[in-house]
């Protein structure tokens, strides 16, 4: 993709993916799902996960898998509220851009 992916969009995508599973999900799986939409590496993802955890948007817990602990991320109530805000903002933004691409005028 030729468009830059800023921090807010990365946060929104991660929250959307994590919100799909009430039990939570783990980093590698999040990366694989994100790659369906954008190019991202695990080294980019983990700082996003840490920031969302620090901001109270994600809850983190460890669970044993194949004899070792795997870190899981689950969306919190604050994370769900943040995701709802991101989603609302995204639809407004994308509708304005689509309108401009189609020759219309975007009004605030």
For residue 1, being part of any structural domain is answered with no
Q: Quick one: average pLDDT of 53-77?
A: 94
Confidence of residue 6 (pLDDT cuts 50, 70, 90): confident
Q: What is the mean pLDDT of the chain?
A: 91
Beta-carbon contacts of residue 27 (< 8 Å; ≥ 6 apart)? 42, 45, 46, 49, 71, 73
For residue 92, being part of any structural domain is answered with yes
- The total number of structural domains in the chain stands at 1
Q: Considering only the C-alpha atoms of the chain, give the largest distance between any 2 of them, rounded to a whole number of Å.
A: 58
Beta-carbon contacts of residue 20 (< 8 Å; ≥ 6 apart)? none
For residue 20, being part of any structural domain is answered with yes
For residue 37, being part of any structural domain is answered with yes
pLDDT of 67-80, one tens digit each?
899 999 999 999 99
Please name the helix (run of DSSP H) or strand (run of DSSP E) that holds residue 3, with its range, or none.
none
């Amino acid at each position: 993709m030729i468009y830059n992916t800023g921090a807010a969009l990365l946060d929104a995508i991660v929250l959307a993916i994590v919100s799909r599973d009430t039990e939570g999900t783990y980093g590698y799986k999040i990366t694989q799902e994100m790659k369906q939409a954008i190019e991202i590496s695990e080294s980019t993802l983990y700082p996003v996960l840490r920031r969302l955890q620090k901001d109270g948007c994600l809850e983190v817990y460890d669970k044993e898998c194949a004899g070792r602990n795997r870190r899981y991320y689950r969306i919190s109530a604050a994370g769900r509220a943040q995701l709802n805000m991101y989603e609302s903002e995204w639809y407004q933004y994308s509708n304005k851009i689509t309108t401009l691409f189609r020759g219309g005028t975007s009004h605030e």
